[in-house]
Amino acid sequence: MNKNDEARLEIYDLHADGQGVAKWADGRTVFVAGTFPGDIVWAKILKVEKSYAYAKNMKIIEPSASRVEGSCVCPAAGPCGGCQFQHYDYTAQLKFKEKLVQDAFRRIGQNFEISPIIGMDKPYNYRNKAQFPQALGLYAARSHRIVPVTDCNIMHPACIEVLQVVQKMAIPNLRHLVVRVGQNTGEVMVIFVMSDSSIPPIDDIKADTILVNENSANTNVILGKKFTALKGSGYIHEELGHVRYRISPQAFFQVNSAQAKALYDLVAKQLDGVKRVIDAYCGTGSIALYTANQVEEIVGIESVAEAVKDAEYNAQLNDIKNARFLCGQVEDLVPKLLKDKKYDVLILDPPRKGCDGKLVDTIIESGINKIVYVSCNPITLVRDVRLLCEGGYRLSYVQPVDMFPMTRHVECVVVLEQLRASGTMNAYPQHYPKT
């Protein structure tokens, strides 16, 4: 096999990054973007490694039975690269994501049967946040090349409406257009990220609040530190079930409100009869506030000061008095909390890189009875689960949730229970490699 070689390939599987998997004549694995199991394609080798290669899909010779075409497919889906699966039947997408999670656990020796994935009845127009560079379109995958876009099948319609209005303005010095929507409140926030202190026209824009953000730094960070409200309060609100959230310009909030509620309901079910809970990596406190009515006390931990302020404000907004929030590193604050008081459940919702090794050590040493782990990355999830199981926990529940339809991403709620509490284990083995 050499670079630029071409061949007919049959796609038989999908990699975790969404690329189709095929076999070359010499047995080497070939990854082909934009393909799905069942596709037969003519492919060109782009890069060759020792045991695998990457190829470009030059032509679909025979399409997979799961491949769909027509109006349901966004014309920018290929060039943009954000929706790896928009060309495939939604049922097939869900089956792949189930398999992805199941395979990840089996690779660590956990043949635990996962629950069927929770999908969406209408898997389009769900995304409540959009970032458009120069209001021209979207960045292509793994690049800063802008793919022109005037519509998007997964964006909330309000995001597209704002985009189309701003595209007619041709605003100079506009770096990014950011739009956020409360799916259940209908409130809209628009942020103009400018490279200087100029003020864009806003008369034709339908939004509850409009801000201008100045960012002249030569960096990949989209938002600068200086915000000025041109209209409204500078905030919008979203409602999930019984909780109302104020969302600030920089606050993290799940981009799919409908599936966020489904996710939080799964966490809430694990807290029946529980008194004290720690919510690690709590962000703006969305899970802590949603589940606070089930417990006596819940403590959220977050390293971003602005997020903690949002969490505290939202606790007041909902008159929630049994939730408090601490600003600091999770790996530093969890040991202190566990030393001072007994907690029944630890909720973990870490970033894609998973839990810090020091935190895993602390959890195992604490012997806390139950862990509810929320993850957006099956690879780091199973790494941490393996370490926790080696340290005295057992896997008792795995539930995938399709938070991001049309993409390769999948969310999971996993529950681990302490074995030693039931007398089945007297000591911990070595659990975390020291480096």
Tokens 């939004």, located at residue: 207
- Report the alpha-carbon distance of residue 235 to residue 208 in Å, rounded: 9
- Report the alpha-carbon distance of residue 245 to residue 324 in Å, rounded: 16
Tell me whether residue 80 is one of the annotated catalytic residues.
no
Contact 366, 337 (CB under 8 A): no
- Side chain identity, residue 215: N
- Report the alpha-carbon distance of residue 159 to residue 124 in Å, rounded: 13
Q: What is the largest CA-CA distance in the chain?
A: 69
Contact 41, 61 (CB under 8 A): yes
Give the residue from 168, 141, 156 showing the smallest Cα distance to 207.
Answer: 156
Sequence-ordered alpha helix ranges (H) in 82-176: 90-106, 157-167
Write the CB contacts of 348 (distance below 8 Å, at least 6 apart in sequence).
Answer: 280, 281, 355, 371, 372, 373, 374
Catalytic residue among 74, 80, 152, 376: 376
Tokens (6 digits) for 56:
């470009």
Contact 111, 104 (CB under 8 A): no
Residues acting as catalytic residues: 376
